[in-house]
Amino acid sequence: MTEAIKQGLFYVLDMESSLAESLAHRIVEMKQYQVFRRWDMNVDPEKELENYKDVLKGIIISGSGRNINSAKEAPPDVPAAVFAAGVPILAICYGLQYLAHAQGVPVVRCWDEPDLEKRTPKAAKNDKGEQGPVLFHRTDADSPLFHGLGRSFPVWMKHNWQVETAPPGWQLTGYTEKCPVAAFETGNIFALQFHPELGNSLCGKMILHNFFSLICKVQTPYF
């Protein structure tokens, strides 16, 4: 039996993310095995996940440069088999928006412009939304993702769209000044609006470590 089978692996679904390489690199850096698939690859995810069921430890849904509200072309979709696999899921950025949208929660513009009257469709083309290092605030909910971190800590944001309420029945676990819903979870599904996979995310490695070790029950070489 190989070490990969002994330790298990992660299934990563790339939703057309500009940070896909960073995500893959971070997972390797943290000594985890992965199967990396773009959402529209010509692979049957149901059959593939069935083949991996004995070693699969978790699933990660990436961010995306696409818009869940796009009327021009179908936005990236998550196969139903992902949610039927029964393992913990970590959804990042677009992944959070996808989960909220699937529960009927509107995905709206995240504005950098503070003046409501200046928030026009024309201005939206150049508005940067929420980008770079931002202070994240935890709610009173005790999420295992944030174990060992303070009540507030820096995260790395890269988004122009957001949700303003958590899905019904889901637990809001964090927010920022511009983003009222920066993290939520339910059961074994965890969603983050920010990007823990980036190397310049000060606490990102700790959050991924918590997902791998506390939630998915695999060891990492960190902490």
Q: What is the per-residue pLDDT across 17-28, written as a single tens digit (0 to 9) for each?
A: 999 999 999 999
In terms of C-beta distances under 8 Å and separation of at least 24 residues, what long-range contacts does 197-203 make, across chains too? 197/19, 197/22, 197/23, 197/26, 197/27, 197/92, 198/19, 198/22, 198/26, 198/156, 199/22, 199/26, 200/133, 200/156, 201/154, 201/155, 201/156, 202/133, 202/153, 202/154, 203/149, 203/153, 203/154, 203/155
Q: Which of these ranges, 18-27, 70-79, 83-92, 121-130, has the smallest mean pLDDT?
A: 121-130
pTM here is: 0.93
Give me the residue spans of the domains in the chain.
3-215
Could you tell me the CATH superfamily of domain 3-215?
Answer: Class I glutamine amidotransferase (GATase) domain (3.40.50.880)
Catalytic residue set = 93, 195, 197
* pLDDT tens string 94-141: 999 999 999 999 999 888 878 788 888 888 888 888 899 999 999 999
